[in-house]
Amino acid sequence: MFIPSPNIDGVLAAAIEADLVKAGRTIISNAADVWPNDTGHYDQSLRVKVDERGVVVQTDDPAGHIIEWGSARHQPQAPLRTAAADAGRFEPK
């Protein structure tokens, strides 16, 4: 008899974690490529993390949110979203 797993989301997340980390590294590489590296250290601030959110790609740069989302004085440069779209299908959340 088939018994549905009550924690199927957790089972699936664990099963694909290694592939998601690999995809995250591709996004980091793409983001570093689209961002100019002659100033600052943005490319070195990019991380793939596995935590309670799942597998995530993020920047530790203090100006990372302005680089990604812009401000009233800056256009959004969006290196992470551009890199995610280049690596596959980007879905806004």
Partner 1 sequence: VSAELVVLPDWLAAISEWLRDQSELTDLVDQRIYTELPTTKTFPLARIAHITDPPIASPTHWAVDATFQLDVWGGPKAITWTIAETARALITQRFSGHAWELAAGRVVAGRVRAGGIRRTTDSLTTTGTDADTSSETAGARPRARFDFAVVLHP
| Positions in the binding site for partner 1 (CB under 8 A) | 69-73, 75-76, 78, 81-82, 85-86, 89-93
**Cβ nearer to partner 1, comparing 6 with 92:** 92
**Cβ nearer to partner 1, comparing 11 with 63:** 63
Contact 57, 46 (CB under 8 A): yes
* Distance between start and end Cα atoms, the chain: 38
**Cβ nearer to partner 1, comparing 25 with 81:** 81
Whole-number minimum distance, CB 1 to partner 1, in Å? 39
Q: Long-range contacts made by residues 60-68, C-beta under 8 angstroms, separation at least 24?
A: 67/35, 67/42
